[in-house]
Amino acid sequence: MDLAITNVLALTMRDDRLDILEDATIGIDGGRLAYVGSSDAFDGQPERTIDGDGLVATPGLVNVHAHTDLTLLRGAAQDVPEIEWMNRALGPLSAAMEPEDRTAGARLGVLEALHSGVTTVGEYARDVDDLVEDVYGPMGVRAVATETINAVDGPTDDLGPDEPYPLSEEQGWAALERNEALFDACTDRDRVSALYGPQALDMVPRGLLEEIRERAERHDRGIHMHVAQGEREQRQIEARYGTDKTTVSLLEELGLVSDRLLAAHLHGATVEERARLADSGVRMAANPSSIAAIDGITPPIVEYRNSGGVAGIGTDQAPGPGGHDFLRELRTTALLAKTKRTDPTAFPAWEALRVGTIEGARALGIDEQVGSLEEGKRADIVLYDLEHPSTAPTVTEPLHTAIPNLVYGANGGVVDTVLIEGDVVLEDGELRTADEGAILEDAGERAADVFDRTGDEWRKADSELVEAVEDGWL
């Protein structure tokens, strides 16, 4: 046996609860879990032992939806109306980013995610295979990669909200072929799988969406798509397809509503539409901090789960909500759910931990590999410090306060160790697979260059954030 974590409080997620094990030992061999149970019954001979006293172990956290390459633009697009966010606030800066800028942003985003206990990221980006090669592989992080298929032709910051985006068939089909190449490349990678990525219904021609559906069915593959993500999208749908159409009604017409679909957001759908999606097996990627910051809306994750739907949580992108600290995201999800429903019992801490682990893995279609601490699964494990100021004190009687303390109190500083497929990626709170200082320095230099090069275009787009700057607030 390669490694054993002994004397640890473990939350395994092996059943429909948390399956709390006190004084547990977790054995790892060949990158897989070889033993999960009582320390008294463990008789393995590990090459290395980690003493888990004062720590709590969970499966690695699963961030189901993220655009980590945009982390370079953190702080650049928030506190604006939803109708302005994509085209007038973020757009001018994002359009100016070079591939090297996006790589630097992704490294920073993945670094932040790792420090909060994330072991799997549902990465969504253009040329995502470059991020897999240059970021996820070297840093040792698991990825479910989605290639962005977007046919919007040219800048859109000067378009009115009711003017349909100009679409390029050639651009869209070229993106689909990149997506096919991604699937081929993933066949030889242990920690990477792929999904089709039509960005949104208003950004991809109808014929291309039909082709994606046919290929997904033919090859038994999943589709990861932004669905019903607010007023801007709905106005685009009506402008292109008619005022009687919605994103969900068109997806139903196209045959895209099935258990192959991972739908990000869904706050723009009706209650009845969301119930139909859940009944059809569509999985939800909720991004509470992002949608709260960009739309001023709480995503309907509680409603969706109550309808029988599978849901995971994502951090989306850093411009707007702030970043990729997944522990902060769990807390935000729980608190927003309570205020949205005026119910302090909504989305309790134990549900947050399940959605952040095993249910997130189900949302990405990888729950047979990760998401719970079960013998035979990949050894993706996080150890959290229960003696950190944000989690202490903890007791085990008459209840395990480590669980609410982890969700409501913890920040990224509580993550002591992260193992991915048995490899120690972060230990004693320090990254072992890359130079943190170099990541931060590169991101800082590249961000300064992007903002310097595109400041004039950002000002010309004239979002409300520009007005705040001119008024002396920023």
DSSP per-residue string spanning 313-371: E--B-STTT----HHHHHHHHHHHHHHHTT-TTSS-HHHHHHHHTHHHHHHHT-TTTSS
Q: Helices 247-254 and 206-219: crossing angle, nearest 10°?
A: 50
* Contact call for residues 224 and 196 (beta carbons, < 8 A): yes
Mean pLDDT over residues 428-437, rounded? 97
Beta bridge partners of 259: none
3-state class (DSSP) for residue 18 = coil
Provide the 10 A C-beta neighbour count for residue 370: 27
Q: What pLDDT score does 412 carry? A: 83
* Angle at the Cα of 151 from the Cα atoms of 237 and 68, rounded to 5 degrees: 95
Dihedral sign for Cα 442, 447, 450, 451, please: negative
Considering the entire predicted model, what is its pTM? 0.97
Query: Does 157 have pLDDT greater than 70?
Result: no
pLDDT tens-place string over residues 261-307: 999 999 999 999 999 999 999 999 999 999 999 999 999 999 999 99
Cis peptide bond upstream of 389, omega within 30:
no
Contacts 24+ apart (CB under 8 A), 275-283: 275/307, 276/248, 276/252, 277/248, 277/304, 277/309, 278/304, 278/307, 278/308, 278/309, 279/307, 279/308, 281/310, 282/257, 282/258, 282/309, 283/259, 283/309, 283/310, 283/311, 283/312, 283/362, 283/363
High-pLDDT (> 70) share of the chain, %: 100
Q: How confident is the model at residue 158 (pLDDT cuts 50, 70, 90)?
A: confident
Going from the C-alpha of 156 to that of each of 67, 200, 214, 240, 370, the distances in angstroms are: 20, 15, 30, 15, 40
Residue 2 has pLDDT above 90, yes or no: yes
**What CA–CA distance (Å, rounded) separates 375 from 386?**
25
The per-residue pLDDT of the chain, averaged, comes to 96
Q: What is the pLDDT of residues 368-421, one digit of tens each?
A: 999 999 999 999 999 999 999 999 999 999 999 999 999 999 988 999 999 999
What phi and psi, each to the nearest 5 degrees, are found at residue 163?
Answer: -95, 120
Q: How confident is the model at residue 345 (pLDDT cuts 50, 70, 90)?
A: very high
In the chain, where are the structural domains located? 61-363
Q: What is the pLDDT of residue 230?
A: 85
Confidence class of residue 160 from pLDDT cuts 50, 70 and 90?
A: confident
Question: How many CB atoms are located within 10 Å of the residue 168 CB?
Answer: 16
Instruction: Give residue 443's Cα distance to chain centre.
Output: 20
State how far the Cα of 21 lies from the Cα of 367, in Å rounded to an integer.
21
Mean pLDDT of 46-65: 98
pLDDT of residue 4 exceeding 90 = yes
The predicted pLDDT at position 383 comes to 98
Q: Please give the C-alpha separations between residue 41 and each of 6, 24, 25, 44, in angstroms, as whole numbers.
A: 11, 9, 9, 9
Given phi > 0 = left and psi -120 to 50 = alpha, else beta, which region is 376?
left
Q: Which amino acid, one-letter code, is at 92?
A: P
Domain 61-363 sits in CATH 3.40.50.10860: no
Query: HSE of 416 in the Cβ direction (CA atoms, 13 Å)?
Result: 19
pLDDT level of residue 441 (50, 70, 90 thresholds)? very high
CB distance 228 to 249 below 8 Å: no
pLDDT of residue 159: 76
How far apart are alpha carbons 318 and 333 in whole angstroms?
A: 16
On the question of pLDDT at 1 being above 90, the answer is yes
